[in-house]
Chains A and B, each alone.
Chain A
Amino acid sequence: MNGNGKLRMIIGRLGQSIPSVIGIIIVTFVLTRALPGDPAVYFAGPAATPESIQQIRESLGLDKSWPEQFLLYVRDLATGDLGVSISTGFPVAEELLRRLPASLELTLLALIFSISVALPLGIAAATRPNTWVDQLCRLIVTAGVSLPVFFTGLFMVYIFYYLLGIAPSPLGRLDIIYLSPPQVTGFYTIDALLDGDLELFGAALAQLIMPAVTLGTFTLAPLARMTRGAMLQVLSSDFIRTARASGLKRSTVLYTYAFRNALLPILTTLGMVFSFMLGSNVLVEKVFAWPGIGSFAIEALIVSDYVAVQGFVLAMALLYVALNLTIDILYTLVDPRVGLDS
Chain B
Amino acid sequence: MRRRDFIKTVGVAVGASAIPFLRHLPAHAAGRGDTLVVVTGNGPNSMDIQRKGTNRPAYQIAVNLYDRLVGYGTKTLEDGTMMYDYQKLEPEVAESWEVAADGMSISFKIRDGATFWDGSPITAQDVKWSFDRAVSLGGFPTVQMKAGSLEKPEQFEAVDDKTFVIKLLRKSKLTLPDLGVPVPIIFNSKVAKANATADDPWATEFLHRTPAGGGAFMLERWEPGQQTVYTRYDDWKNGDLPGVKRVIIREIPSASTRRALLERGDADVSLDLPPKDFAELQKSGKFTINAAPIENSLAAIGLNLTFEPFKNKLVRQAIAYSVPYDQIFKQAAFERGIPMWGGKSFTPATIEWPQPFPYDTDYDKAKSLLQEAGYADGFDVPLSFNLGLAQWSEPMCLLLQESLAKVGIKATIDKIPGANWRTAALVEKKLPMHVKNFGGWLNYPDYYSFWVYQKDRLFNSMNYHNEEVEKLTDLTLHLEVDDPQYEPNIKKLLTIFFDEVPLIPIYQPYLDVATQKSVTGYEYYFHRQLDCRSFKKATA
Contact = CB atoms under 8 A, between A and B. Distances in A.
A45 B140 contact: yes
Interface string B227-244: 100000000000000000
Interface stretch (B44-52, B119-127, B345-353): B44-52
A41 B422 contact: yes
Contact of B224 (A45, A88, A260): A88
Interface in A69-104: 86-90, 95, 98-99
A75 B432 CA distance: 44
Nearest to A169: B266
Interface in B32-88: 32, 37, 39, 45-46, 51-56
Contacts of A260: 7
Given A47-B144, A291-B225, A302-B418, A171 B250 contact: yes
B140 A46 contact: yes
Contacts of B283: none
B518 interface: no
A112 interface: yes
Given A166-B24, A206-B23, A287-B254, A302 B53 contact: no
A172 B223 CA distance: 12
A42 interface: yes
Contacts of A59: 52
Contacts of B263: 162
A38 interface: yes
A116 to B, nearest CB: 5
Contact of A48 (B27, B51, B140): B140
A173 B53 CA distance: 27
Nearest to A282: B253
Contact of B252 (A55, A56, A90, A289): A289
Contacts, number: 187
A117 B360 CA distance: 61
A52 interface: yes
Nearest to A286: B253
Interface stretch (A19-27, A174-182, A241-249, A310-318): A174-182
A166 to B, nearest CB: 6
A157 interface: yes
B146 to A, nearest CB: 9
A41 B52 CA distance: 11
B423 to A, nearest CB: 5
Contacts of B266: 169, 171, 176
A248 to B, nearest CB: 17
A334 B3 contact: yes
Given A157-B260, A162-B260, A333-B6, A90 B224 contact: yes
B208 A41 contact: no
A38 B21 contact: no
A334 B6 contact: yes
Contacts of B7: 260, 263, 334
Interface string A134-175: 000000000000000000001001100110011111111101
Contacts of B55: 87
Contacts of B264: 161-162, 165, 169
B417 A37 contact: yes
A217 interface: no
B512 interface: no
B260 A48 contact: no
A255 interface: yes
Contacts of B3: 333-334, 336
Given A47-B458, A157-B257, A170-B261, A303 B419 contact: yes
Interface in A293-330: 295-296, 301-304, 330
Interface stretch (B10-18, B311-319, B369-377, B501-509): B10-18
B427 interface: yes
A100 B54 CA distance: 24
A48 B139 contact: yes
B446 interface: no
A334 B4 CA distance: 8
B501 to A, nearest CB: 24
A48 B52 contact: no
- B39, B45, B254, most chain A CB atoms within 10 A: B254
Given A87-B55, A176-B250, A334-B6, A213 B21 contact: yes
B142 interface: yes
A115 interface: yes
Contacts of B52: 43-45, 56, 59
Contacts of B208: 89
B333 to A, nearest CB: 22
B45 A44 contact: no
A47 B440 CA distance: 10
A176 B38 CA distance: 11
Contacts of A45: 52-54, 139-140, 143
B224 A49 contact: no
B1 interface: yes
A335 B38 CA distance: 54
A263 B261 CA distance: 43
B19 interface: yes
B250 A172 contact: yes
A213 B21 CA distance: 9
Contacts of B427: 38, 41, 53
B14 A171 contact: no
B11 A154 contact: no
Contacts of B54: 45, 89
B391 interface: no
Nearest to B9: A333
Contact of A89 (B11, B45, B223, B451): B45
Contacts of B388: 302
A112 to B, nearest CB: 5
B422 A175 contact: no
A288 interface: yes
Contact of B28 (A87, A177, A288, A304): A177
B140 A52 contact: yes
B420 A49 contact: no
Contacts of A55: 138-139
Contacts of A221: none
B226 interface: yes
B261 A169 contact: yes
B253 A176 contact: no
A33 to B, nearest CB: 13
B70 to A, nearest CB: 21
A5 interface: no
A118 to B, nearest CB: 10
Contacts of B100: none
Interface string B408-451: 00000000011110110011000000000000000000000001
A171 B252 contact: yes
A218 interface: no
A255 B53 CA distance: 58
A15 interface: no
A269 to B, nearest CB: 15
B422 A42 contact: yes
Interface in B126-143: 138-140, 142-143
Nearest to A115: B14
B251 interface: yes
25 contacts: A37-B417, A37-B420, A38-B423, A38-B427, A41-B422, A45-B143, A59-B52, A89-B53, A98-B224, A99-B225, A109-B19, A158-B260, A171-B252, A176-B37, A176-B250, A260-B7, A263-B7, A287-B256, A288-B254, A291-B223, A301-B419, A302-B418, A304-B419, A333-B1, A333-B2
Given A52-B142, A177-B32, 11 more contacts: A45-B52, A45-B139, A45-B143, A47-B140, A47-B143, A48-B140, A49-B143, A51-B138, A87-B53, A116-B17, A170-B252
For the complex of A and B, list the 6 residue pairs with the smallest distance between their C-beta atoms, beginning with the closest: A45-B140, A37-B419, A43-B53, A47-B143, A289-B252, A169-B266
